[in-house]
Structure 1
Amino acid sequence: MAYTILAIDTAVENCSVALTVGNDVITRCKMAPREHTLKILPMIDNVLAEANLTLGQLDAVAYGRGPGSFTGVRIGIGIAQGLAFGADLPMVGVSTMAAMAQQTYRRKQVTRVLIAIDAHMNEIYFGGYQRKENGDWDVAFEETVLPPKDLNKKLLTSNVVTVNGEWTIAGTGWLAYPALASQLHLAINNSSVLYPESEDMLILAHHALLRGEAVDAENASPVYLRDNVAWKKLSGRA
């Protein structure tokens, strides 16, 4: 079954929108630090107009659930919730890191990806993914936030080091901490992927819908990884 899905992501410095209609994918992506609220709604209107669709004709709205900037994740989920709530559409949260793994596969045709995103405050968001035959992804290393100096120790206690072959790295964390990759006891291949793009959320959202993981708008929630932040959903704000 081919779903018609609108995907929205504002979790990091760029913001992006993608729409899948049958075999066609319409995308918009812009670097917009601190301008997400100005850019994202016109981008959504633009892709819907190009497809000649209304929100009511969609099957679901996918949103970048994080991890990422607290403000960026909050903007993305808030806009996605507002659209889905108004059009009575289900929502699907997609991991920022899983979307970057899918983008790395799209660009490099690699199936093992380690993601490190600069989380600032001398920390990184980190996760590992391995692609399955059906195009979905398995979590090889659970998403976490940690100081870069602790990454190698964490990896040594994980299943990542037992997988033969190269791992491809993606994300801004490797640039923010240049020595990070060289400290790992793994065969590493670089990629040019730094930021998530919504078009890569579409296939992940499709698999999530097939698994029955869609939720009502009021139940959509972010993943920040840091414990010192909170989010109040669209309904039930009290």
Structure 2
Amino acid sequence: MNLTLLALDTSTEACSVALLHRGETLWADEQAQRSHTKRILPMIDKILADAGLHLKQVDALVFGRGPGSFTGVRVGAGIAQGLALGADLPVIPVSNLTAMAQAAYEIHGANKVIGAIDARMEEVYCCYLSGQKVRSEFGEFMQWQPLIEEQVCSPQRLIEQLKAMPQTEACWRVGTGWSAYPQLAEADLARSSDIILPSARYMLPLAQPEWYAKRLLNAVEIEPVYLRNQVTWKKLPGR
């Protein structure tokens, strides 16, 4: 099947776009800090133009649903919702922590990954994932299962949970949390990697099995994932 997916992510300091078309992947990653809203749409326009496509020729829109910065997650969800409404596209949400695990697999061959994103306020967004290859008629994909569910907690609490798990020394670590809170790295519970921020490029292989399984959302069903309960979200159509 000639699947075309457009992915975007603004949930962290990175501003990222990727396109799967005719089996080839195009992508662009920038450090945007507080300029996501200015950068993401021009990046989308350029990557579509480079592929000779219009938005309505895309089969589905993929977006980083969080966790990440409150503003960045809101921006990404809002942009995805607006584009999906305008072009009548289905949407596939992807975890930013899982996207970094996928990057660790593709770069390092990792099948166990501990993700930790700096959540400020002396906390991290984190999880511990185990992956295995799954074959289907549509290809071979990594399927990730949580050994520690996505959560927000203190670095010390994450260390305690990891120490209760077997063989974390075979894991790779990803995300900004390890450098933001040195006690995490000093606990020496996983192998170091240079995967600091999520990229839309690694959301595409996670979205493909969702497409084939028809696990799709429409625009009004989009829900960002903050992990902190005190943040509210209002969908564009007023729901």
TM norm structure 2: 0.93
Correspondence 1:189 to 2:191: yes
Letter paired with 1:108: H
In the TM superposition, what are the counterparts of 1:69-88 in structure 2 within 5 Å?
69-88=69-88
Change (3 A) 1:76 1:178: same
Which of 152, 156, 171 aligns to 1:149? It is: 156
Q: Which position in structure 1 is the counterpart of 2:173?
A: 169
- C-alpha separation between the residues in 2 aligned to 1:175 and 1:164? 18
**Amino acid of the structure 1 residue aligned with 2:108:** K
SS of alignment partner, residue 92 of structure 1: strand
For the pair 1:100 / 2:87, whether they are aligned, the reply is no
What is the letter of the counterpart of residue 180 of structure 1? L
User: For residue 13 of structure 1, what is the aligned residue in structure 2?
Assistant: 13
Pairing of 1:37-56 with structure 2 (within 5 A): 37-56=37-56
Distance (whole Å) between structure 1 residues aligned to residue 169 and residue 157 of structure 2: 23
Question: 1:136 aligned to 135, 143, 146, which one?
Answer: 143
Unpaired segments of 5 or more residues in structure 1? Answer: none
Secondary structure at the aligned position of 2:65 is classed as strand
Q: Secondary structure at the match of 1:18?
A: strand
Q: Please give the alpha-carbon distance, in whole angstroms, between the structure 2 residues aligned to 1:22 and 1:163.
A: 40
User: How far did 1:136 drift?
Assistant: 2.4
User: CA separation in 2, counterparts of 1:175 and 1:206?
Assistant: 32
RMSD: 1.5
Q: Distance in 1 between matches of 2:133 and 2:167?
A: 16
Displacement of 1:163 in angstroms is: 5.0
Supply the AA of the counterpart residue of 1:214. L
State how far apart, in whole Å, the 1-side matches of 2:167 and 2:59 are. 37
Q: Name the structure 2 match of 1:230.
A: 232
Q: Deviations over 1:13-37 (max 9, x none)?
A: 0100000002111101100100001
How does 1:214-229 map onto structure 2 within 5 Å? 214-229=216-231
| Residue correspondence of structure 1 range 26-65 to structure 2 within 5 A | 26-65=26-65
C-alpha deviation, 1:183, in angstroms: 2.7
- Counterpart amino acid of 2:14? N
TM-score of the superposed pair, with normalisation by structure 1: 0.93
Contact 1:136 1:207 in 2 (8 A): no
How far apart are the structure 1 equivalents of 2:93 and 2:235?
Answer: 14
Distance, in Å, in 1 between the alignment partners of 2:144 and 2:186 is 25
The one-character-per-residue Cα deviations of 1:93-117 (angstroms, maximum 9, x if unpaired) are 0000000101111221111110011
The answer to whether the Cα contact below 8 Å between 1:7 and 1:201 also exists between their aligned partners in 2 is yes
Aligned to 1:179: 183
Deviations 1:184-221 (A, max 9, x none): 6x4x2110000000010001111222232211001011
Matched AA of 2:70:
F
1:11 alignment partner, SS class: coil
Q: Which moves more between the two structures, 21-30 or 203-212?
A: 203-212
Partner of 1:212: 214
